[in-house]
Structure 1
């Protein structure tokens, strides 16, 4: 018998938007070269709208999978991603941003996960890790929800593009609209096989501000993981050295990559921050209007925080649920008792009838004439009546 034919692996389109990130490009190339997924099943779409184009680095790298597109005018990130999608030919699109670390199994893990979950149109990681070198801290962000992820972790089927696209004007936080308010059928990726983000001076959004803002500790907390948990292969020594040793000096003297070169992004960041501050003030004013919540106790009155009120409500809800469960159990036991009572009643009726029958039988026995007793000994003949006429016949 011949060998069983296996289906070819899906064709993958890796997509990378870039803008003035020259110091990162060689490192980005190395992350791609290290990918375990067969290069014969990959195309790499790079769209460059920077003022410092990287066509020379692309030519020097001589990576045959690259399809490099230069755009003369700066594009918002949403429009740039939409433009990339128009160039793809693969069955699965995988994002690899230009300034992050992607492990060698980034593509293979994403393809495998989507293959194992045919109902999902998109995959990504809602849990990601950010390393802050100046503080030597690894921060875990998320997970936020089963249908949530950041764009840098996306991998999705090409058919999803028939249903959705990015908002052309979006310069950041573009994921929500693309995922249709997080309703797209989704599957989560293993963050350890997906991405490691490094905080650096040229981040579009300064991630150090996250420490200054009040973050929910459920979604922003220090992790026990270290860089070596992610970048752990011998073939990745140069990548690790870049992020841990070289990056700061390289960025220090590279003015084109400074965030001020992205006025559209900075504008949207200010708009988002202003909107958040407005919402925060509205909540504060609403709390003032509602006034404090006072709980009266025998030992005195206590002012409760919103969190305490929520906890009390949750406790009462649990108690109500327990009472409902107790009532259900009581009703069940009551029904069982009713069944037992019916059985006992039927048994009593049956016993009464049996008793009446026995009494009647006893009465019949009482009216039967008694048999006279016999005083003969065994084998003794009865006495002969000599006056019996039969004897004299």
Structure 2
């Protein structure tokens, strides 16, 4: 998953921190030259951004982060320039997140990613300026939450911006030998073009999740190194799973939906199409039926990172989610927590 280029480490689990008041925006920091990246500049700038984000990769971030920095991305992209040269970049993509409760609630969230600075311009506060400006944009646009993935060992870098840990996701480490014989080989197959509408329906039945239009699905399914499989025992897909996403999430089932009790069969079938000896299944904490189904077959369970979040006003967020007034971390954990989880395709 994408993170802050300034930090330069791989994502790790972030600890939850108690927030007792809404975030207060500090006095503005004067930037050398802060502006939006013009669409006409984006193509020429992309190779340099990739050098900062992923210098050893043969895959451009425009390919596996299409909603954030792709050629047709409808995101807010900010840059800082020094002597007319772009030296720092950050982007925010706005998404709708639906809670299928009574009544149904739709939140507007922003995903921050592609935060990166030229090596020679680091440690000058550019990333801080960009992130704070994106927070101001979130306030102006009345967003409910802003999400990012922190690259620092304990999450302290973004504490200063008011971000807190978003909780945990559940990870199951499945092995080929454990799953052998659970499903007929013909019942799990790679996706066909005619399956996309079925994927949309399965995704839309989730307790909570990001809304995806057919156009969004088409763009996400075009991400390189993402393989999609369906469990189809009757001629209609009853579950789907996505393995891999560009340079991230190799060997991970990071995006899936459908009958939870059928997840072991789906994963077992994926092994018939891949050479992996192990697949890690990522899922939301509330998918307890799926967790029990996997663990019945001896699959080991651990917990993983969910990223970091910030809300302009947790009190307003609680009211929109029909929850008692609470701090942000209380809204994301505990008995009255809102179901919040971003699948791999929705992470930036």
TM > 0.5: no
Larger RCO: 1 or 2 (CA < 8 Å, sep 6+): 2
How does the TM-score come out when normalised to structure 2?
0.24
More helix by share: 1
Larger Rg: 1
Per the normalisation by structure 1, the TM-score is 0.22
Comparing both structures, which one devotes a greater share of its residues to strand? 2
